[in-house]
């Protein structure tokens, strides 16, 4: 217990220090745009951020908060590195609980070496672990979150999708219900990008975004299929270590082969990504956390005839209901 308490203190210490450093780096976008010494390419991207921000409020009913009205250069490739872990024979992620966000399926570090040290400690305890870099994150409106240098290399559609997603978290967030929160924000992201690109008359960009989304969905389908197969296989072989180990190795090897084959098709992502990427229970748990249940919210917006005020009102009703009702909503309306 003492070691656990010390580890928690260290984690909170780096989290506070990292957040303070990020906030200290903020510059108001309006000031940067008024400064003639600002790099023209950066200025162009920041103008686009403000346009996306205005669309989010006016057309998607998202909060008119102070988030994403500042810019910060972190001078690194990721904002945080998230540690995700799962038991050796389980596809359900471990959770960490925090005062504001509730319990979530990851632990974030502002320093990659600290994240890797934590991952090694968890792996030494027999857990499946991955370290996943995140180019940005949200404080759910507790601070004025800035746009980061790590985000600006994205395609316009992906940048817009991220801003819509994170502002959705500011609009509605159920403490401790990661599946509900991520499905809702992901649905807002998809709805928002579709409408934003349509409003801009950017049909080519919309077609490209839809194709990239289709490609990603294809990969995710393979991972979700493997996750469910592992869940069932672990349950059937419970107590038989040799059978569990052999089954796990075989099913993950099959998944890797499927991902490489899918990615090798014309127009698909580079297959070399999957040749050396870690595939284990933790990576599959993370995939499910950010994918399952989106269809439930897409059906909900359809039932509102596309009205965002109606949609948000119905989501708030669900947010104020019981965990059981929210889980049933996701199961009943989702294809997964």
Q: Could you tell me the residue ranges of all domains in the chain?
A: 2-79+135-201+293-333
Rounded Cα gap, residues 126 and 194, in angstroms? 43
Residue 83's H or E segment, with its range, is strand 80-86
The tens digit of pLDDT for each residue in 250-279 reads: 999 999 999 988 877 655 555 456 666 789
Which pLDDT does position 267 carry in this prediction?
Answer: 52
Average pLDDT value for residue range 71-83: 94
**Sign of dihedral through CA atoms 323, 328, 333, 335?**
positive
Q: Which of 160, 138, 144, 181 is nearest to 316 (CA)?
A: 181
Whether the predicted pLDDT of 333 surpasses 70: no
Whether the predicted pLDDT of 125 surpasses 90: yes
Phi/psi of residue 82, each to 5°?
-95, 135
- What is the average pLDDT value for the chain, to the nearest integer? 89
Average pLDDT value for residue range 169-180: 91
In Å, how far are 95, 111, 266 from 4, measured between CA atoms?
A: 15, 20, 49
The pTM for the full model equals 0.84
Ordered alpha helix ranges (H), 200-293:
203-236, 241-263, 272-276, 281-289
Average pLDDT value for residue range 72-96: 94
């Amino acid at each position: 217990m003492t070691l656990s308490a010390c580890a928690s203190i260290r984690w909170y210490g780096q989290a506070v220090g990292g957040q303070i450093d990020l906030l200290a780096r903020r510059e108001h976008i309006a000031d940067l745009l008024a400064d003639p010494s600002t790099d023209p390419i950066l200025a162009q991207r920041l103008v686009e951020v403000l346009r996306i921000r205005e669309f989010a409020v006016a057309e998607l009913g998202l909060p008119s908060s102070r988030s994403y009205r500042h810019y910060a250069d972190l001078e690194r490739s990721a904002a945080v590195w998230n540690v995700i872990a799962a038991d050796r024979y389980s596809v359900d992620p471990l959770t960490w609980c925090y005062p504001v966000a509730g319990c979530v399926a990851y632990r974030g570090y502002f320093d990659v070496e600290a994240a890797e040290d934590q991952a090694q400690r968890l792996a030494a305890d027999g857990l499946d672990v991955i370290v996943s870099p995140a180019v940005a994150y949200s404080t759910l409106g507790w601070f004025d979150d800035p746009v980061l240098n790590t985000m600006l290399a994205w395609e316009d559609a992906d940048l817009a999708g991220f801003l819509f997603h994170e502002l959705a978290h500011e609009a509605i967030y159920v403490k401790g219900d990661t599946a509900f929160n991520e499905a809702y924000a992901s649905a807002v992201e998809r709805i928002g990008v579709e409408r934003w690109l349509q409003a801009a008359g950017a049909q080519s960009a919309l077609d490209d975004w839809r194709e990239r989304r289709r490609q990603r969905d294809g990969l995710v389908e393979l991972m979700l299929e493997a996750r469910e197969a592992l869940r069932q296989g672990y349950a059937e072989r419970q107590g038989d270590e040799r059978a569990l180990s052999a089954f796990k190795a075989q099913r993950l090897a099959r998944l890797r082969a499927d991902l490489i084959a899918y990615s090798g098709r014309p127009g698909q992502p580079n297959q070399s990504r999957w040749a050396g990427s870690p595939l284990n229970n933790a990576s599959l748990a993370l995939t499910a956390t950010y994918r399952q249940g989106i269809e439930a919210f897409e059906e909900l917006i359809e039932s509102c005839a596309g009205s965002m005020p109606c949609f948000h009102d119905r989501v708030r009703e669900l947010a104020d209901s019981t965990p059981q009702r929210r889980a049933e909503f996701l199961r009943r309306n989702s294809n997964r």
